[in-house]
Amino acid sequence: MEFLLENILNLVGFLVGLAIGIMSIIGFRNTGSPTLFRLTIAFFSISIGFFVIWAGYMIEDFVIKSGNIERWIQTLGIVIQTVGYFFIAFSHSIKSFFPKSRY
């Protein structure tokens, strides 16, 4: 049961991240905003990280059948997600510490 729930949650995370990434890239193409570009990188990275973990679970479930996911696959997915979360924090810090000019 836990394995099925983990698969569903990773797939939902992938789809939500992908949807937000697509919206961000559309906004970036329309405005050219560097903030939207950073958010595009962030959410695509988070989405890819969820996909890597989901793919690891699927490979384990249908090919390897050992009962648990390989540690390196899960670590790789988490590292990719961490890059995305870094870009979100970086984008927020730039926006907070360097306010726009009022002119």
In a domain, 46, yes or no: yes
In a domain, 69, yes or no: yes
CA distances from 39 to 4, 31, 61 (A): 30, 13, 33
In a domain, 100, yes or no: no
For residue 53, the model assigns a pLDDT of 92
> Between these two residues, 15 and 2, which has the higher pLDDT value?
15
| Residues of the domain holding 25 | 2-95
In a domain, 101, yes or no: no
Burial of 42 by CB count in 10 Å (0-12 exposed, 13-18 middle, 19+ buried)?
buried
pLDDT in tens, 54-77: 999 888 888 877 777 788 999 999
Amino acid at 39: L
The CA distance from 89 to 84, in Å, is: 9
In a domain, 33, yes or no: yes
In a domain, 103, yes or no: no
Half-sphere exposure in the Cβ direction for 44 (13 Å, CA): 12
What is the number of structural domains in the chain? Answer: 1
